[in-house]
Copies of this chain bind each other. A is one copy, B any other.
Amino acid sequence: MRTIKLTLGYYGTGFRGWQVQPGLPSIQAEMMRALEQVTGEPVTIEPSGRTDAGVHALAQTASFTTNSAIPCENLVKAINRWLPHSIRVYSAEDREPGFHARFNAAGKIYRYRIFRQPVCPPERWRYVHHFPYPLDAAEMRAAAAAFEGTHDFTSFTSPEELPSGPRDRLIHSSRLTEDDGELVYQVHGSGFLHHMVRNVVGTLMEVGKGNLRASDIAGIIAARDRMRAGPTVPAKGLWLVEVLY
């Protein structure tokens, strides 16, 4: 039995997210269907973490076990033949028995793109959150930095997150930059709670609008109260950039 790690990208528009939902399009359902065609076996595939409907991935990871003897390079080609073009496997590698894309992950990098100009080009529309109104980018940058370190992120999670699970996450870097008409937030953390990145960005936007100050962030984190943080920004601006091992 081999354990295989896949690296894949997807264009999230049109999918109801990673997780299989009966009768609805999902990344997982497409992956399972393709793997079954290629290996001739029913396959269970585990991602580094689920992504929500509309979220894109530049490099998600997933693992599965198989009796298939197909070499990794051929596996990539064969799986891609069975997938829609909105999902692509970039690489496959054999890993040690017991390897699991989620449990072995050491961290993740997410990016959130906010398009700032008055008119959003059609070819960029599904990849960004369009927000052409005034934002104080300098204050937002200061607020972004305030998320670095280990914190309990209860204020930034969704009601769907398990109430009993640990809420501490280590944020290695949390930065806002400007690029090609966009404000780009990039965050590297040990892991993320459900909706955490989108809620952090929603809070940064409240800072940008002047409804909060960068100096408020520490108190919002400490409050462990979802009501204190900003709203959840739209999924289509969110990109899973990399999963680190």
The stretch of A120-128, A144-152, A157-165, A205-213 in contact with B is A120-128
A125 interface neighbour in B86, B119, B123, Cβ under 8 Å: B86
Q: Give chain B residues whose Cβ lies under 8 Å from the Cβ of A58.
A: 121, 123
Q: Give chain B residues whose Cβ lies under 8 Å from the Cβ of A56.
A: 122-123
Interface string of A1-32 (1 = CB under 8 A from B): 00000000111000000000000000000000
Interface string of A86-120 (1 = CB under 8 A from B): 11111000000000000000000000000000011
Count of chain copies:
2
**Main SS at interface, chain A:** mixed
**Which bucket holds chain A's interface residue count?**
20 to 34
Instruction: Report how far A115 CA is from B158 CA in the complex, Å.
Output: 39
Residue numbers of A with Cβ under 8 A of B are 9-11, 56, 58, 76, 80, 85-90, 119-123, 125, 127
